[in-house]
Amino acid sequence: MKPSEPTRSERRRLTHVDRTGRPRMVDVSAKASTPRRAIAEAFVTLSAETLSLVIDGGNHKGDVLGVAELAGVMGGKRTSELIPLCHPIALTDLMVGITPDRAAGGLRIRAEAATTGPTGVEMEALTAATVAALTVYDMVKGVERGVEIRSVRLVSKSGGQSGAWTREEAPPVDGSYPASTRPAPGRAARTAGRIGQRRKG
């Protein structure tokens, strides 16, 4: 083994913990600034009645989808304040889109974040999706307490030394979660927070 080549234990070591076990922020000063992008998703289960209220705008707290999308954008922008060891980064793009899915019984949330810098934006995308899902719950809990937030997960990431990664889709165990966050046929995707030209659904 070459002296400069890291050992297996070093490769497997958690990067946010130093050799003494103390938490630390990873030093990214030596990393190149490259374009980076990440997509995350979440699914919020709702009863048919509650989903209709959300779609029709009949919820007494107001526009659930619009508020949740904006909340997701705001949450994604504050990721480094919420997650202790995340770097504050300059986002160049941050979008949250929510698509109702009656067949699956809920709302599909998709968050996409981008930057040009020395570290990735996976946490920003995941935080945006999670905050949007929590906001949905907060806005509908008055009419339905049994709402569930499911499948918060990274879908893909690109950029940086590790390159591109895309989740390999697997059939859901109970069939309740759609394999894609693309809008349902005939319904345009809602988006909030896109910097620059908005994506067409």
By annotation, the residues acting in catalysis are 138
Q: How far apart are CA 75 and CA 148, in angstroms?
A: 20
Q: How far apart are CA 201 and CA 108, in angstroms?
A: 14
Q: Which residues contact 107 (CB under 8 A, 6 or more apart)?
A: 43, 44, 46, 51, 54, 65, 98, 99, 100, 101, 136
Q: What angle do CA 47, 73, 52 make, to 5 degrees?
A: 20
Q: Are strands 148-158 and 91-101 parallel, antiparallel or unpaired?
A: unpaired
Q: What is the identity of the amino acid at 31?
A: K
> Is residue 124 within 8 Å of residue 89, measured between CB atoms?
yes
Three-state DSSP at 125 gives helix
3-state percent helix, strand, coil for the chain, nearest multiple of 5: 25, 25, 50
